[in-house]
Structure 1
Amino acid sequence: RRAAIAELSWPLGDDISDAVLEAALYKAGGTKTGHRRSPEPDWTQVHRELKRKHMTLQILWDEYISRYPEGYRYSRFCDLYRGWAMKLPVTMRQDHAAGDKLFVDYAGDTVTVVVDRLSGKTRQAHLFVAVLGASSLSYAQARWSETLPDWIECHILALEFFGGAPALLVPDNAKVAIIKACHFDPQVNRTYCGMAAHYGSAVLPTRPRRPRDKAKVEAAVRIVERWLLGRLRHRTFYSLAEVNAAIGQLLHDLNDKRVLRRVGATRRQLFEELDRPALRPLPVERYVFAEWRIRRAGLDYHVEIERHYYSVPYRFAREQVEARITANTIEIFHKGERIAAHRRSSGNGKHTTIPDHMPSAHRRFADWTIERIQREA
């Protein structure tokens, strides 16, 4: 009967392959016959809703069928959605929960900046890129180097740009972030961990030699390189501020004006709908950059940091301690407990001593100054 309807006769022609034969016999295979009165579900909206936490196709189908009782049954609803999702680009098929991950990386290419107008001397600026998983909202910042201070400062500016903190920061295994790369238990830089903890986040580096673990930021880096560097190639910059001002304008066009294919919304619209409600609020105080150094207290119970000597309680003489160094303070820890705190001084080779850190005999001797002797006399 199907062959008669398809007007096929035996023997078949040489041009009739299995695919052509199947299409002729089963023209409507995999589709519903007839027309439903209820409208087709908005698969773009379904795809967005699935990015929210605790959201499933069952919940979305329940909401759909409550509005349209004559609509698709659950199995057909799932099949149609999966068929629609298969047509998305690979980077859009990844499952990223709203507000969950912020992917960070440096672009491979640099920006040329003229630092001396007279001699024409140039310097290369590195491009830091951060992108949220669910909405793909992107941030970029040009810096002179990829050192730890620049790495931390870029994270702080990125979080302030997004207006909140994600649950996880996902870098690669760069030395500036990861001290020891490991498949199971990587060792993260202590300053980086402190910065993440300040904003209520955790650091989850990718597995070594697994670039697909951060395919989101890899794709974002390519987009940024094409969108930013391609448009800036004919411009001449004379300062880092000029570069970042131009990057900010192009980022505005990328995030707020460019509509993503198949999604029908801009990155900013997706961010306001998905990521912003899920991000953690930023703390009142901004993170203060701090470095950690391992030192050993001397016989005089002082620790040398940047050519200046700071006291610790005398009972910690000869002990190994850890120093947390900021622009204004020096904090000294022993086995995780803070034992001393000082205001940072210049590297003049002098000593800063707190009297309470001295033994009683030393303190009594130190009290006999020339002024006290004259006063007593």
Structure 2
Amino acid sequence: RQDHAAGDKLFVDYAGDTVTVVVDRLSGKTRQAHLFVAVLGASSLSYAQARWSETLPDWIECHILALEFFGGAPALLVPDNAKVAIIKACHFDPQVNRTYCGMAAHYGSAVLPTRPRRPRDKAKVEAAVRIVERWLLGRLRHRTFYSLAEVNAAIGQLLHDLNDKRVLRRVGATRRQLFEELDRPALRPLPVERYVFAEWRIRRAGLDYHVEIERHYYSVPYRFAREQVEARITANTIEIFHKGERIAAHRRSSGNGKHTTIPDHMPSAHRRFADWTIERIQREASAMGPDVALLCERILADRPHPEQGFRACLGIIRLNKSFGRDRVNAACGRALEIGARTYGSVRSILDNHLDRTAA
């Protein structure tokens, strides 16, 4: 027999039986919904939620909804050694899934799985599962459901009867009354922000200091190129860690095979070229003179892809530092007259002072 302190433990498990849901009215195709069960140790207040699967996202979402149902968080979450929660079952030092640990820590709780092959460690939830299967599933077995929301609405009504109306014979009170007396004062308050589901994945940064996550590439500081990193992935963000230190954060993008690069992550040699666009090249060229603008325009137009002419145009524009604006504009005019379309031609004209020679 176990004695449970108020607000100490929340036992969680999945019921063995499932709920049949009709997902296609025309064909009559059905799908099985799994039933998550959570019960507080001291008051036996119970919570249940139907989900399509027992995968990690559903497991975490069920915990969040259960804690919001109870209005607080216990000191310990007590699951069995299911693979979704426990990476490696061990009598002395079990390895808990990192996402599960993160969720528990967000609510100020810790995870304490039961000992392997010791069902009596979670006798409370085993009993609650049996009650839920009889009290809920037994009453729902003759009903036809057409959506998961419809199933959960029916479960909510029956849970109200189980928790608020059914009197426990040995104590002469309902689960709700015991909860208000014992567990509610002892539960930790919920944080202001709800936990955001996040998955962790191990990646290695490429030689181009980008990390591939679901067919999109995110930059890290270039000094971490070819280093092993950890990615924390949520619905909206990508955070990248190296030896526990966050080194990059990005807004999540779709898997389109493209790159998201933060300029500060680039080495200086790459950064000098990163912010140049066709529009900026045309603007800078026009500021130097009409012949420079016209030559750059023709260089960009002659290449199969405009970006192939970036370096040539950029080189011509930067000749201003060595030769001055007027000479560069005159050299570009001479290059246009002789049909030259390269940086080398313009530089040769300037080096040989041909820009000062009449054509």
TM-score tier (shorter): 0.7 to 0.9
Corresponding residue number in structure 1 for 2:215: 307
Amino acid at match of 1:257: K
CA RMSD of aligned residues (A): 0.8
* 2:7 equivalent to 1:103: no
Residue 361 (structure 1) shift:
1.0
Residue 262 (structure 1) shift:
1.4
SS at structure 2 position matched to 1:106: strand
1:130 and 1:371, CA in 2 relative to 1: closer, same or farther beyond 3 A?
same
Residue 110 (structure 1) shift:
0.3
Residue 366 (structure 1) shift:
2.2
Residue 372 (structure 1) shift:
3.2
Corresponding residue number in structure 2 for 1:220: 128
Corresponding residue number in structure 1 for 2:26: 118
* 2:61 equivalent to 1:158: no
Equivalent of residue 244 in structure 2, options 333, 336, 347: 336
State the percentage of identical aligned residues.
Answer: 100
SS at structure 2 position matched to 1:115: strand
Amino acid at match of 2:200: W
Unpaired segments ≥5 residues, structure 1: 1-92
Unpaired segments ≥5 residues, structure 2: 286-359
Amino acid at match of 2:7: G
Amino acid at match of 1:187: Q
Q: Which has the higher helix share?
A: 2
SS at structure 1 position matched to 2:167: coil
Q: How does 1:349-360 map to 2 (within 5 A)?
A: 349-360=257-268
* 2:206 equivalent to 1:298: yes
Corresponding residue number in structure 2 for 1:365: 273
Distance in 1 (CA, whole Å) between partners of 2:179 and 2:185 is 9
Amino acid at match of 2:10: L
1:180-224 deviations in Å (ceiling 9; x for gaps): 111111111111001000000000001111111101000100000
Residue 94 (structure 1) shift:
1.8
Residue 375 (structure 1) shift:
2.6
1:368 and 1:122, CA in 2 relative to 1: closer, same or farther beyond 3 A?
closer
1:76-103 deviations in Å (ceiling 9; x for gaps): xxxxxxxxxxxxxxxxx42100000000
Q: How does 1:4-15 map to 2 (within 5 A)?
A: none
Residue 272 (structure 1) shift:
0.1
Equivalent of residue 134 in structure 1, options 39, 42, 65: 42
1:236-281 deviations in Å (ceiling 9; x for gaps): 1111111101100110000001111110110000000000000000
Corresponding residue number in structure 2 for 1:56: none
Q: How does 1:147-296 map to 2 (within 5 A)?
A: 147-296=55-204
SS at structure 1 position matched to 2:145: coil
Distance in 2 (CA, whole Å) between partners of 1:222 and 1:286 is 30
1:93-121 deviations in Å (ceiling 9; x for gaps): 42100000000000000001111111111
Residue 373 (structure 1) shift:
2.8
Distance in 2 (CA, whole Å) between partners of 1:139 and 1:314 is 49
* 2:239 equivalent to 1:322: no
Residue 139 (structure 1) shift:
0.1
Q: Which has the greater radius of gyration?
A: 2
Superposition TM-score, scaled by structure 2 size: 0.78
Amino acid at match of 1:98: A
Distance in 1 (CA, whole Å) between partners of 2:282 and 2:137 is 73
Distance in 2 (CA, whole Å) between partners of 1:371 and 1:247 is 61
Distance in 1 (CA, whole Å) between partners of 2:151 and 2:260 is 43
